Structure 1
């Protein structure tokens, strides 16, 4: 196990590989089980499963939260990121200083700050937040075509990542391309979020029927508010997005599924999407 271990969110994933959810949780817990008394573990207080690892921590335990103060770790006070070092509170930055969008990225900064507290100065933390623009395949802006902005969020390989990632970033309804390999994850929780946040849902891959079923069976489903189109490949998906989106729209690849069967990995999937979008005229 590493000297400093961070566990962010645990939700159903990779259930095609693990016997059940408990085995998946136990596999994640290995990151802290073999730490020693001189190590540090950073856990998300707001995630029930992750927070449940607390009793297994052997060294220093730091927690982060967007909901409440913590005794040791980073937390939010209104819009200000703070660090509580066992009673000594340092105000670090406003969340609007963070260049990359989304509350999930605020949580990521809380986790990172908790991990490096005492090793990195506050000025460096703030400078990184103001200048770091993110990495490929994570809500990555590709280009704007005819007033429509295209984003590549191919890293979103589970329903949770799509719901808490792409679908949390924008204040208006967007168009998304979703679907892929079936990891046997429940899609029911994603249905209501898609109905709230999406106006055009383009589906492909093995999970397409599961996602469509989750959307249509959700209590907030309204056939007049969301259009669902099934396609067979990424070229068709982008063509439908181009045809049915209008100026001011956002189109995002956010699959909520693994890439296997269609692509080798999420990078290959994201790069293919970007190549198609960049070829649009």
Structure 2
């Protein structure tokens, strides 16, 4: 179905847009462009609205705002913002009243004219999706990169050609009620995450499965063989399944023997030729290589590996000052992500960790910290949890690492800088979301960078 046809079908209907964040704003513009009655529902009070939303109101959007933004509304169809749980009581009430609940992402899948490569997982989604896009671009292909990575693509669908490729990073929230799947689906790994919103780990896993459950026999699913949860998805796949691994050889997949990445049993890429640090990034490369298998040359893959310096907020080198390297890993909003970051360095680091509490266990991170951290600075809402988990680790001894509790984020950065000696690494890798003090991990990371650059 073409974009125009999709929106023409909505003419004469009353459309609710539930949440007026970044992903839904292009959708609102399209609805208004096609003359469709549209109500924007958002928790933000009128006095706190930004200029873009007010501009949409002037263009014809009706607004329903404040704490009760999901009550007292009615419509034929409602587009759910990703962070809004589809089984929230107010949404269930809308369904019961006959409102169809969908999403911007569901609409995009319906109108997209070309191959969709989707990436999900608990960690590594953004880097893997970006690597796939970079490899395809290096091969001369037209690529559209979007989704959870921050770029909505619905309003660009009419510019896409069947020969193009779309690469989507997909969160569990976007996948929860998605009734279509990607032609090539990648699941990097799975570990407990977002349990402050998902009702259970089982619900979180079920959401991730939607990236492949609606595939056909000609589609492909790429899984991490070393992660029991993802490996267990294979029997449910309708199409081909390919694995990547650091533990076992994969004659029809990708594997890493500690020095070389192999594809289909042949050597492809030496570890030393990958610019990104950390063995977890080797995993991201293997996942990406399988996704572009048959679409790009070995030379394209090697060229990207040698040139690609990483994505902002993902073990990003901010600066070197007086022999001390400062890294921004603000994207690390879960313990497993921070563990991967710590394992990227061949020395003990000064770690700044802590943030919004997503009700995750910090025991696995606590077990890792004594081996990888010489000074732990705990900040934010999860500071005490991280400190306690570290002290309970079997390898912990008093003062190894030293633990400091500094609630103020900026003071924590200054304390880390003051404690650092030439040759040290200072790593911001919070193992928690940013919402206790910042709008999101991007704002947190930029504040870290700004503070470090001002030292």
The alpha carbon displacement at 1:78 in A equals 4.8
Output the CA distance in 2 between the equivalents of 1:114 and 1:72. 10
Q: Secondary structure at the match of 2:185?
A: strand
Contact 1:156–1:257 at 8 Å: present in 2 too? yes
Deviations 1:32-66 (A, max 9, x none): 11111111110000100000000111111111111
Consecutive unaligned residues in structure 2, runs of 5 or more: 1-180
Output the CA distance in 2 between the equivalents of 1:260 and 1:113. 34
Q: Which residue of 1 aligns with 2:202?
A: 22
Match among 334, 348, 364 for residue 189 of structure 1: 364
Q: Which residue of 1 aligns with 2:421?
A: 246
Contact 1:61–1:72 at 8 Å: present in 2 too? no
Output the CA distance in 2 between the equivalents of 1:80 and 1:229. 40
The alpha carbon displacement at 1:15 in A equals 0.7
**What TM-score results when the alignment is normalised by the length of structure 2?**
0.59
Match among 55, 58, 66 for residue 246 of structure 2: 66
Q: Secondary structure at the match of 1:32?
A: coil
Match among 275, 278, 293 for residue 117 of structure 1: 293
1:180 matched to 2:180: no
Alignment length, in residue pairs? Answer: 275
**What TM-score results when the alignment is normalised by the length of structure 1?**
0.95
Contact 2:380–2:409 at 8 Å: present in 1 too? no
Q: Secondary structure at the match of 1:144?
A: strand
Q: Which residue of 2 aligns with 1:53?
A: 233
Q: Which residue of 2 aligns with 1:213?
A: 388
Q: Secondary structure at the match of 2:367?
A: helix
1:228 matched to 2:403: yes
Q: Which residue of 2 aligns with 1:92?
A: 268
Q: Which residue of 2 aligns with 1:148?
A: 324
Output the CA distance in 1 between the equivalents of 2:418 and 2:254. 45
Q: Which residue of 2 aligns with 1:170?
A: 345
Q: Secondary structure at the match of 1:31?
A: coil
Which structure has more RCO (C-alpha within 8 Å, separation ≥ 6)? Answer: 1
Output the CA distance in 2 between the equivalents of 1:173 and 1:23. 37
Q: Which residue of 1 aligns with 2:82?
A: none
Q: Secondary structure at the match of 2:208?
A: helix
Output the CA distance in 1 between the equivalents of 2:293 and 2:334. 30
The alpha carbon displacement at 1:68 in A equals 1.1
Consecutive unaligned residues in structure 1, runs of 5 or more: none
Q: Which residue of 2 aligns with 1:199?
A: 374
Instruction: Let me know the Cα RMSD of the aligned residues.
Output: 1.0
The alpha carbon displacement at 1:246 in A equals 1.2
Output the CA distance in 1 between the equivalents of 2:285 and 2:335. 22
Contact 2:350–2:424 at 8 Å: present in 1 too? yes
Q: Secondary structure at the match of 1:137?
A: coil
